[in-house]
Chains A and B, each alone.
Chain A
Amino acid sequence: MAEPLLRVERVSKGFGGLIALDDVSLAVEAGRISALIGPNGAGKTTLFSVISGFLAPSAGRVLHNGIDITGQQPYLLARRGIARTFQIVQPFAGLTVHENIAIGAHRTRRSRGQALDAAADVARTLGLADVLDRPAASLTLALRKRLEVARALASDPELLLLDEVLAGLNPSEVGAMLPVIRAIIDAGVSILMTEHVMQAVLSLADHVFVLAEGRMVAEGVPRDVVGNPQVVECYLGRGAAARLAASGVGHG
């Protein structure tokens, strides 16, 4: 079998006595939307930080196209084509939307003019064309989340790590964001996303990984994963799957 785009191999990460990730493995295939789901505190963001180089794992390896990238600095990973967004959005607040995206575009473009042009293109794709000249600090949360995605996308990544880009958005904003994410995958960029909004994950993702209490409890296509009793239990509590089955509301 061909080497996947990204492979996480038996990664563990502890903070003092707390084990945030315990022997986690996953493989992200190119050309797909893979989603990492799990309840609060499952370790999703920690795993993201390990993959994107912001945290070094206590054990295990991360491989990109078969090359060991464990513990490499985030900017080196970004240059390899692994871009990320932040759950707590980190716009360059003092700059305009256009300048923000251009900084991403500068990764592969030296000239200011080319970077600004590329940024304008990305902004159009992500529906930010109307707010190009607004200061990033003045945007609503929904637009700031888009800006995060736009800036990362402008850096021409091979793999885009989206950390909860739908969290905190209202249903209509979520609905507006879904085609944006599909457009990214259509443009040939692979995606690994963490998400709380289950409905969105089910409609978007090709492959789902479920993390609970730092351990990978299930993976597969979305339809199978939501029916998995272990997954139901980690969201709703022990015995929930059995109770649901007994009352006849299970997915059967």
Chain B
Amino acid sequence: MKGRSISPVALVLVALALVPLLTASNVVLNFLVQMLLVALVAQGWNVLGGYGGQYSFGHAAFFGTGAYVSAILQMRYGVNAWVAFALGVAGGAVVGAAIGALTFRSGLRGSYFALVTLAFAEVFRILASVAPITGAGVGILVTLDLRPQAFQFQSRAPFYWIILALVATSIMIVQMIGRSRFGAWLVAVRESEDAAKAVGINPARVKLAAMTISAAMTAAGGAFYLQYFLFIDSGIAYGPWISIEALLAPIVGGVGTVCGPLLGALVVKTLGEVTKHVVGDAPGLDLVIYGGVLIVIVAFAPNGISGLLSHLRLHIMRLRSSAAERSHG
């Protein structure tokens, strides 16, 4: 099962890498960049939520920190954009570790953990909307400088390949976690903290490590967003929209699976785009669709699309074997 799951993912990634060679359409590339951005942020959420069972409602806190740290370093301190990107990721990891230390030390689990992460994201959003260093209500605009060394490009293709490489890296990291002792500990903590403790696992420490990795991945998404759109404000960086997409994509695609976030991001983003074309650009309509999708998935496919697919594969195998039996008889 685990051995087989790598090759289809690798194939999909290679196929995706070829897309800019086949089309120069900005609409297509723009759609795919945004889809992959969600896939990256969602993979971050998946490390903590899918493997660790800690459902965060506030991954915007890490996305926004990645974006703001990078923006502030570039625009206020003249730091190179690539360096600022890396420091943005590190900043997200630090915030993840800090929030993790506070929440897991005090033993918050389940819906309490979800609510506290949501509260942290909201506090960051409000602070960013008033503090001068974050540009308060105006936000931060990155000066246009279309040179690769400034992490800005004339066309969308380089951005596309960068975000694709980030997604591929995140998938590799998750795959490595899944095959490591740390991954086994993380899943054990998700399934039963008491039983995990009884075999020598320190749940708080395992969850803290997962949250740090998770936050770093999501912060990379935020820092990438900044380079792609060259603008952030508090509502974009720390807004609930990104927290929702971060958890919706893995839940739709399959929590705790390697390719669930990518699959979910594709489905969710496609649905959002189709709705826009069919109904027109009514604000908030995508959220209505997301809500509907979430209800359907939770009610009928708790293991997401990945779960449905493996269920289907089993079903087909069973049909085949029973057909074979009949032809023999």
Q: Which of B179, B197, B203 touches A112 (beta carbons < 8 Å)?
A: B179
Interface size of A by Cβ–Cβ distance < 8 Å?
32
B197 near A73: Cβ-Cβ < 8 Å: yes
By a CB distance below 8 angstroms, the chain A residues around B11 are: none
A90 near B194: Cβ-Cβ < 8 Å: yes
Q: Which of B179, B190, B198, B202 touches A83 (beta carbons < 8 Å)?
A: B198
Mark out the residues of chain B between 149 and 192 whose CB falls within 8 Å of any chain A CB in the assembled complex.
179-181, 184-185, 187-188, 190-192
CB distance from B208 to the nearest CB of A (A): 14
Chain A residue nearest to B200 in the complex (CB): A78
By a CB distance below 8 angstroms, the chain A residues around B194 are: 54, 74, 86, 90
Q: Which of A54, A104, A110, A111 touches B199 (beta carbons < 8 Å)?
A: A104
Chain B residue nearest to A81 in the complex (CB): B200
- A64 CB-CB contact with B under 8 Å: no
The CA-CA distance from A94 to B187 in the complex, in Å, is 9
B181 near A115: Cβ-Cβ < 8 Å: yes
The CA-CA distance from A111 to B203 in the complex, in Å, is 20
Chain B residue nearest to A89 in the complex (CB): B195
By a CB distance below 8 angstroms, the chain A residues around B202 are: 73, 75
Chain B residue nearest to A110 in the complex (CB): B181
A95 near B191: Cβ-Cβ < 8 Å: yes
- A52 CB-CB contact with B under 8 Å: yes
- B201 CB-CB contact with A under 8 Å: yes
- A215 CB-CB contact with B under 8 Å: no
- B196 CB-CB contact with A under 8 Å: yes
The CA-CA distance from A123 to B158 in the complex, in Å, is 52
The CA-CA distance from A97 to B181 in the complex, in Å, is 17
B184 near A103: Cβ-Cβ < 8 Å: yes
Interface residues in chain B, defined as those with a beta carbon under 8 Å from any beta carbon in chain A: 179-181, 184-185, 187-188, 190-192, 194-203
A84 near B198: Cβ-Cβ < 8 Å: yes
A79 near B200: Cβ-Cβ < 8 Å: yes
Interface residues in chain A, defined as those with a beta carbon under 8 Å from any beta carbon in chain B: 52, 54, 73-75, 78-79, 83-86, 90-95, 99, 102-104, 106-107, 109-112, 115, 151-152, 154-155
New A-B contacts (14) at CB < 8 Å, excluding given A92-B192, A94-B190: A75-B196, A75-B201, A75-B202, A75-B203, A79-B200, A86-B195, A90-B194, A90-B195, A92-B191, A106-B184, A107-B200, A112-B179, A112-B180, A152-B198
Q: Which of A74, A91, A95, A103 touches B185 (beta carbons < 8 Å)?
A: A103
Where chain B touches its partner, the secondary structure class is helix
By a CB distance below 8 angstroms, the chain B residues around A75 are: 196-198, 200-203
**Which 5 A-B residue pairs are closest in the complex by CB-CB distance?**
A92-B191, A78-B200, A90-B195, A74-B197, A107-B200
The CA-CA distance from A240 to B191 in the complex, in Å, is 46
The CA-CA distance from A84 to B196 in the complex, in Å, is 11
The CA-CA distance from A75 to B195 in the complex, in Å, is 10
By a CB distance below 8 angstroms, the chain B residues around A52 are: 198
A151 near B200: Cβ-Cβ < 8 Å: no
CB distance from B206 to the nearest CB of A (A): 10
Sample (24) of A-B pairs whose CB atoms are under 8 Å apart: A54-B194, A54-B197, A73-B197, A75-B198, A75-B200, A75-B203, A83-B199, A84-B198, A90-B192, A90-B195, A91-B192, A91-B195, A92-B187, A94-B191, A95-B188, A102-B184, A103-B185, A106-B184, A109-B181, A111-B181, A112-B179, A112-B181, A115-B184, A155-B200
The CA-CA distance from A155 to B195 in the complex, in Å, is 12
By a CB distance below 8 angstroms, the chain A residues around B199 are: 78, 83, 103-104, 106-107, 151-152, 154-155
CB distance from B177 to the nearest CB of A (A): 11
Q: Which of A73, A106, A151 has the most CB of B within 10 A?
A: A106
Do A151 and B195 contact each other (CB < 8 Å), given the known contacts A92-B188, A102-B184, A103-B185?
yes
Q: Which of B185, B190, B197 has the most CB of A within 10 A?
A: B197
CB distance from A235 to the nearest CB of B (A): 30
A103 near B198: Cβ-Cβ < 8 Å: no
The CA-CA distance from A107 to B194 in the complex, in Å, is 15
The CA-CA distance from A86 to B193 in the complex, in Å, is 13
The CA-CA distance from A40 to B120 in the complex, in Å, is 47
By a CB distance below 8 angstroms, the chain B residues around A106 are: 181, 184-185, 199
The CA-CA distance from A112 to B176 in the complex, in Å, is 11
CB distance from B195 to the nearest CB of A (A): 4
The CA-CA distance from A73 to B198 in the complex, in Å, is 10
A103 near B180: Cβ-Cβ < 8 Å: no
CB distance from B319 to the nearest CB of A (A): 22
The CA-CA distance from A83 to B198 in the complex, in Å, is 6
The CA-CA distance from A123 to B184 in the complex, in Å, is 18
By a CB distance below 8 angstroms, the chain B residues around A95 are: 187-188, 191
Q: Which of A93, A107, A110 touches B191 (beta carbons < 8 Å)?
A: A93
By a CB distance below 8 angstroms, the chain A residues around B197 are: 54, 73-75, 78
B198 near A78: Cβ-Cβ < 8 Å: yes
